[in-house]
Amino acid sequence: MENLEKILLGHPFFKNIEGDYLNLIVGCASNVRFEQDEIIFREGQEADQFYIIREGTVALDLQDPGSGKITIDTLTDGEILGWSWLVPPYYWRFDARATKMTRAISLDGKCLRNKCENDHDLGYELLKRFALIIDQRLQATRLQLLDVYGLRS
């Protein structure tokens, strides 16, 4: 547990978070490990966790009937995987697959969700941080959407 606390404290995502809250979060955290090609979660499943990737790469895939599996994003060391646990109806919108052996910290989102309902200050602290991440991903996704390398007609 001490090891986890150190890791979480040092992670930029939890910078400046109050000691009590950090303890609370550590209480919901555990070390996990995924083998190459292991599916971490599937589209449609209940979103109960989120992950902080310590080492490795996770691909986000969508399945298209015609083209098969399409990878739309990859996340690596230090990045946060998943916020569907924060947003109703709390289901994953895509598959997550480890493309190589990956170590991560899993955080119990369902548990944290309940705690946030009771302590709105904790809720605000978490949402503030996730808002930043979601914004970064949105900007990146917009650029991706522009398909700037594609040939214009």
Q: Which residues bind other proteins (CB under 8 A)?
A: 57, 59-60, 67-74, 76-78, 99-100, 139-140, 143-144, 146-153
**Toward other proteins, which CB reaches closer, 2 or 147?**
147
Shortest Å distance, C-beta 35 to other proteins: 14
Measured from the CB of residue 7, what is the shortest distance to other proteins in angstroms? 18
State which residue, 12 or 88, has the beta carbon closest to other proteins: 12
CB nearer to other proteins: pick between 30 and 71: 71
CB of 15 to other proteins, least distance (A): 15
| CA separation, residue 49 to residues 88, 108, 143 (Å) | 14, 5, 28
Taking alpha carbons only, the member of 77, 92, 73, 87 closest to residue 131 is 87
Query: Does residue 40 contact residue 92 with C-beta atoms inside 8 Å?
Result: no
Element (H, E) at 69: strand 68-75
To the nearest whole angstrom, how small is the minimum distance from the Cβ of residue 117 to other proteins?
33
**Under 8 Å between Cβ of 90 and 49:** no
Please, which residue, 30 or 63, has the CB nearer to other proteins? 63
Nearest to 43 by CA among 56, 60, 58: 60
